[in-house]
Amino acid sequence: MCTALLVTAMALLLPTPSAFASELDTFVARAAKYESGGSAEPLLQLERLLREATGDPKASAELETALSRLLAPDTTFEAKRFACTYLAVYGSEASLPALAALLKQEETVGIACFALDKLPSAKAGDLLRAALPEAKNVPRVQIVDTLGHRAEAASVKPLLELTREADIAVACAAIRALGAINAVSARDAVAALRREANPALAIAVAAASLNGAEQLVAAGDRAAAAALCEELLLNTCLPHIRRGALGLCLRSDADGGLQRIQKLLGAEPVDPVLAAAAIARVPELRGKDVSKAFGKLLPRLPPSEQVLLIEALASRADADARAVIRTQISAADPRVRHAALTAVGALEDASAVTLLATALASATTPEEAKDVQLALAGLRGGETTDLAIGAVLRQAAAKDKPPLMTVLSRRGGRTAVSALLAQSGDSDETVARAAAQALARIADSGDSTALAALQTAVAGDDSRVREVSLRTLTAWRGVAAWDTLAGIYVKPENDAQHALALRGLVRIAGDGNAHPDAALIGRYRQLLAGARTDDDRKLILNVLAGAGHPDALTLALPLLDVPGVRAEASQAVERIAKAIQTAHPEVARSALQKL
């Protein structure tokens, strides 16, 4: 019912039969002469009709005939190319005679095969096979390639004959095509070629063999596939062929490749080509004690493979894998230690702090210490881990404290700030200095949790902690510390606090000069309002001079009348006026006249 309705609807949409035929004739006649540079309209009209004819067998047949007419000897190459492109999508057996003629010419064999490849009828394959004996050189390879893509069992015999060709391109194409055909006869033919071991054909034969092994796996014949792969795993084969064979084996092994990988890694010496590919599979292996088993194999491997296995175990991330990895942070080889430390940092939490702290204290090179620091900085567990590091820091010898403080500064957060503030009062000057540096790093990170901790500390009871906190806030990245600093600037405990706060505020304001806006001007206004001395004003004016905003002039101009800062105010007015003179010429000129 639906189909009938559709056909009726299509019939209504298409022109009447006679008009349709006439229109088609017109388009075909014009399309037959198509060459680059001319209008492509007839081609597009034909394409439209093809789309619209879907579901209408009669119209489709007429259109196919029309496309076949475009393959006649007197049409242009580009018309033929167009026709073949669309016969590939819409063509049927009806177009085979016209396409057959194109197979005979080197110029057109490509476009003919383009159409024939997708033609569903088996007769298309017959046509290609029939054309093979007379085809030479490139046309022959083209036909062979297309037969390979069609992958019909009937092509095995003619293709097999071509594998003996002296022309290597033809022989390789034939082998490639045989590999694509899922048939016993094709696999047997490739097996025979494997036994002949012609070096010129080796890659093509190996690739076709891998293809055949895949077909066997897909058919459920794992044993036959494995036997074939064993031949391809031999170290006389090329590395990528061996890796391909191993991959197929591992994918088809009932245990996911566990035993095969263990055997490979347990061999002496370890196969350098296959080891990495085998280890790459380790994360996907299922089963109890898998990680433990590979942990036992680990020490037997060369360092480069140990590194890979540690990374693979890290991907498994189960308890056994983590236990194995922990043992390797003290491995003899630096590459192995690096891999283990990286993995520990990514996988572990507070429970690894003591282990890593010990490793940090015993690190023999700066690079190794950095690896441990990165691992500590990366540990999971948030504040719990921070607290554990803080506890170790408190107990550590003075010489071991600076690297631990670097770790805390990388981790940031409330606990880190608290621990570092405590250390900043250490009687050992080196420790105190390292704590200040670590706090400065936190300030540079702009960590909002750490900021909150410092804002609390700066208002706390301990005057030393208040001072260190204030110093840290003066270096805080961005504008987040402004309000706190501004509060201290206006109501300091002493002149030193006022001066420190001003230094921090001026730095923040200066950073904003690149994008001057009303908020920035507001900040400068706040600064000038809180200035206590001409020295304060001088400092502010020096930075205000870089704010290219007309309202910055409004702030600077009144200071021309203050004798103690007149020179700085003049300089500021001049710089600001010059910076804004393009956008605000009147304001700038007026200001400059006051100098």
Site for other proteins in 354-393 (CB under 8 A): 367, 374, 378
Considering only residues 249 to 308 of the shown chain, the ones binding other proteins according to CB under 8 A are 276-277, 279-280, 283, 307-308
Q: How far is the CB of 278 from other proteins (least distance, A)?
A: 9
Q: How many CB atoms are located within 10 Å of the residue 271 CB?
A: 17
**Whose Cβ is closer to other proteins: residue 138's or residue 184's?**
138
Please state, in angstroms and rounded to a whole number, the distance separating the CA atoms of residues 388 and 396. 12
| Residue range at the interface with other proteins (CB under 8 A); choices 203-211, 355-363, 420-428, 490-498 | 203-211
Local structure of residue 136 (DSSP, 8 states) = -
Q: Are 67 and 104 in contact (CB under 8 A)?
A: no
> Distances in Å between the alpha carbon of 71 and those of 98, 117, 123?
6, 17, 19
The 307-336 contact track toward other proteins, x by CB under 8 A, reads: xx-xxx-x-------------------xx-
* Stretch touching other proteins by CB under 8 A, among 135-143, 183-191, 483-491, 508-516: 135-143
What is the Cα–Cα distance from 142 to 144, expressed in whole angstroms? 5
- The answer to whether 375 and 341 have CB atoms below 8 angstroms apart is yes
Binding other proteins (rule: CB under 8 A), the pick from 25, 41, 444, 517 is 41
Give yes or no for a contact between 327 and 319, defined as CB atoms under 8 angstroms apart: no
- Binding of other proteins by 39 (CB under 8 A): yes
The contact pattern for other proteins, residues 399-428, with x = CB under 8 A and - = no contact, is: ------------------------------
- 3-state SS assignment for residue 96: helix
- Closer residue to other proteins in complex, CB, 186/502: 186
Stretch that binds other proteins, among 121-129, 143-151, 219-227, 515-523 (CB under 8 A): 143-151
Pick one of 17, 19, 51, 493: the residue that binds other proteins (CB under 8 A).
51
Q: Which two tokens stand for residue 122?
A: 């088996």
Residues 6+ apart with CB under 8 A from 566: 559, 560
Q: Which residue in 111, 225, 357, 500 binds other proteins (CB under 8 A)? A: 111
Report d(CA 370, CA 355) in Å as an integer: 15
For residues 512 and 524, the answer to whether their CB atoms sit within 8 Å is no
- Which residues inside 210-229 make contact with other proteins, applying CB under 8 A? 210-211, 214
Tell me the number of residues near other proteins by CB under 8 A.
72
Cβ atoms of residues 206 and 238 within 8 Å: yes
* Cβ distance to other proteins smaller for residue 42 or 390: 42
Q: Which of residues 156-175 bind other proteins (CB under 8 A)?
A: 169, 173
Q: Which of 63, 128, 225, 241 binds other proteins (CB under 8 A)?
A: 241
Q: By C-alpha distance, which of 155, 127, 164, 128 is closest to 143?
A: 128
Instruction: Provide, rounded to whole angstroms, the least separation between the CB of residue 82 and other proteins.
Output: 10
Q: Is 114 in the site for other proteins (CB under 8 A)?
A: yes
